[in-house]
Each structure stands twice: as structure tokens, then as C-alpha cells.
Amino acid sequence: MLETGIKAPDFELQDQNGKLHKLSDYAGKKVILYFYPKDNTPGCTSQACGFSERYPQFTEKGAVVLGISKDSVASHKKFEEKYGLAFTLLADPERKVIEAYDVWKEKKNYGKVSMGVVRTTYLIDEEGIIIRANDKVKAKEDPEKMLKALGEEE
């Protein structure tokens, strides 16, 4: 996980519609950048739906929400349509950004060790500095926690 107080690495990834996004495109806004393991899995779905339900509150506070996983553009599109998601999902199948943000880690699941995305959420300020970093993310609670964090930063 990257430390708070450092400049967030810039990146360029395609969204669920194939449009390119750079972190630097969002200069002047707060960015909630969250990394999740996989589209259409229970935890990831509840986290995404939580962000989507609260999206108007995030935009009111001048923030954007960007979700990143290693799923494809097509997978993100299906995920967005199935749940009516209101924010941008970015595809990182090569794991360039996932690795730049240090969220590709060894994970243990039922005693089996494998590599995967550790659910992590960053709050990045208007100048591109990481002001919050959380790798102990509970999928269902994360959207509400980030909304509170935004309120504390105002």
C-alpha cells in the first residue's frame, strides 16, 4: 500500500465504455480510487452498489469515484449495466496501475496461497496527494467510511 502524503502515481486506463481516463484529468477534484478483486462477486458488488447509491453525495462534496480491477472493459460494462452503477470503472488487465499502487499481494484463502488484488481504497486530494489509504477495507462499509472521510477533509 502506498503511504499518505505522497503524490499518487498518474495512470491512463480505459473505462467501461472504452474511454481513456488519466488521474491527472481529475486535478482540482478529490478522487476516491478504490481497487477491488473482481466484477460480479458478492463483496465487490456490495462495495460498488454502495458507492453508486451514494454517488450524488460524493459529487456534492466535489469528489469522483473510480473503481479499478484487472477485469476487462467488457466485464466492467456488464457489471455497470447489471447494477446500474453511476461511476467509472477502469480496466487494468495488465496490472500496471494495480502494481503501481502496491495492491497486488499474496493472499490466503482457505489455506491456499495465491496472488491477487487486496481491496484497498485511497483518497486523493485536489493536488494529487494521497491523504487517506486504507487496506483493511470491509466492502460493505467502505462507501460510507469514505463519505465520512470526505466530510472530515472539508
Residue numbers annotated as active site: 44
DSSP 100: H
Give the C-alpha distances (Å, rounded to integers) separating 13 from 1, 53, 101, 109: 20, 24, 14, 29
CA gap 131, 116 in Å, rounded:
24
Strands 30-35 and 120-124: antiparallel
- Cell readout for 100 is 503501481
Burial class (CB within 10 angstroms; exposed 0-12, middle 13-18, buried 19+) of 110:
exposed
Q: Indicate the Cα dihedral angle 115, 116, 118, 124, nearest 10°.
A: 120
